[in-house]
Chain A
């Protein structure tokens, strides 16, 4: 009976102790459980271990001495150790995430830099090829112009004037007297002119101007010069030159280049001028 009483009293004592665990110890247990379930387990295991040792010391003190002031203080510190372990883990994780972000950004920038360098290299290559094409094209055009000028020189004069390059063809080479139809021999010569013009700058515009001497009435000469210019224009278009880039007009006797008193002067004034206007020149 006495033994049973002793056991009962002991059980009651332990039950009382368990029930009266100080709030510091309860808080410490909660804090440790929270910390061990959080990031500290991975990010700060040493800190968590230290917190566990503190909690064990508090539990030991409580089991040996009960809820004394010292037990409370030890438990209080154990709770703080657990909270510190958790806060340190959060710090470590934030630092790790930041480093990871920086590494990823750096890798992305490196990749982008490589891509940009490759793009730049491609652009350089393309630019080089374009320059070469332009140089080749310029060379071909210069050669064509040189050949055309040489061919034209045999039956025409070519001059560079402010209004453009002017190819002057003698009227007697192209037309019979008082006629506006091209002579057969003129067609052969105009073929070379047309070919030379076709090889010119594809954006250049051309004006064919008919001119006469002062013999006959001005209206008659005006009409004759217009029809002659039209004949030349139509022939050049028939050779493949774009019709919307070539115009014809008659100047009649208004633009003499020599004295109309002499036969030679009048022969020089009877002419057709083909004006190749520079690109962008006003009409």
Chain B
């Protein structure tokens, strides 16, 4: 029994050691986080939550990588990337909606200030 447990522990350690370090996944997650920051997600309450989650997940992944938990770190980074991308998508949507409103306001203002309108 003792031998079996030792064998299983050995296999588990080998598996952890053989799972590659998720370098690309880390780069993707950090890239998504940076994009969200650049789009102002920090200042948008809807997007801020997901940016924060992404940052926390990247931090957790770093801890897992130090513990040689590459597989867990990889999946944590998948979450981090998804949260970062969601923060980006929300920030972009908010930006477009703000631009739409600004355009509408400008057109309303222009309609009010054009002297010929309604004076025919």
**Complex alpha-carbon distance, A80 and B80, angstroms:** 10
Least CB distance from B62 to A in Å reads 17
Shortest Cβ distance from residue A260 to the other chain B in the assembled complex, whole angstroms = 69
B92: A residues at CB distance < 8 A: 87-88, 91
A91 touches B96 (CB 8 A): yes
**Given contacts A69-B75, A101-B103, is CB(A94)–CB(B86) below 8 Å?**
no
Is there contact, CB below 8 Å, between A77 and B79? yes
**Across the interface, do B103 and A77 meet the contact criterion of CB distance under 8 Å?**
no
The reply to whether the CB of A142 lies closer than 8 angstroms to some CB of chain B is no
Interface string of B73-86 (1 = CB under 8 A from A): 00110110011011
Interface residues of B (CB under 8 A from A): 72, 75-76, 78-79, 82-83, 85-86, 89-90, 92-93, 95-97, 99-100, 103-104, 107, 110, 114, 116-117, 120
Knowing A91-B96, A94-B97, A102-B103 are in contact, say whether A80-B86 is a contact too (CB < 8 A). Answer: yes
A101 touches B93 (CB 8 A): no
A116 to B115, CA, bound (A): 11
Question: Are the C-beta atoms of B120 and A115 separated by less than 8 Å?
Answer: yes
Chain B residues positioned under 8 Å from A175 (CB to CB): none
**Given contact pairs A91-B95, A94-B99, a sample of 11 additional A-B residue pairs in the complex whose CB atoms are under 8 Å apart:** A76-B82, A83-B86, A88-B89, A91-B93, A91-B96, A95-B96, A95-B100, A98-B99, A101-B103, A119-B116, A119-B120
Number of residue pairs spanning A and B whose beta carbons lie under 8 angstroms apart: 69
Within 8 A of B (CB), among A29-83: 69-70, 73, 76-77, 80-81, 83
- Listed by A's residue number, 11 A-B pairs whose Cβ atoms lie within 8 Å are A80-B82, A80-B83, A84-B82, A94-B93, A94-B96, A94-B99, A101-B100, A102-B103, A105-B110, A112-B116, A112-B117
Nearest chain B CB to A273 CB, angstrom units: 53
Chain A residues lying within 8 Å of B104, measured Cβ to Cβ, are 98, 101
- In the docked arrangement, what's the CA distance between A112 and B117, Å? 8
Docked CA distance A88–B85 (Å) = 11
Q: Contact check, B82 vs A97: say whether CB atoms are below 8 A apart.
A: no
Classify the secondary structure of B's interface with A.
helix
The SS class assigned to the A binding surface is: helix
Report the minimum CB–CB distance from B108 to chain A (whole Å). 10
- Asked whether, in the complex, the Cβ of A88 is within 8 Å of the Cβ of B93, the reply is yes
Query: In the bound complex, how far is the Cα of B56 from the Cα of A46, in angstroms?
Result: 29
Closest 9 CB pairs of A and B: A87-B89, A80-B82, A94-B96, A90-B93, A91-B93, A73-B75, A98-B100, A94-B97, A94-B100
Q: How far is the CB of B28 from chain A (nearest CB, A)?
A: 12
Complex alpha-carbon distance, A73 and B61, angstroms: 13
Q: Are A116 and B116 in contact (CB under 8 A)?
A: yes
Among A77, A90, A97, A101, the residue within 8 A (CB) of B78 is A77
Q: Which residues of A contact B107 (CB under 8 A)?
A: 101, 105
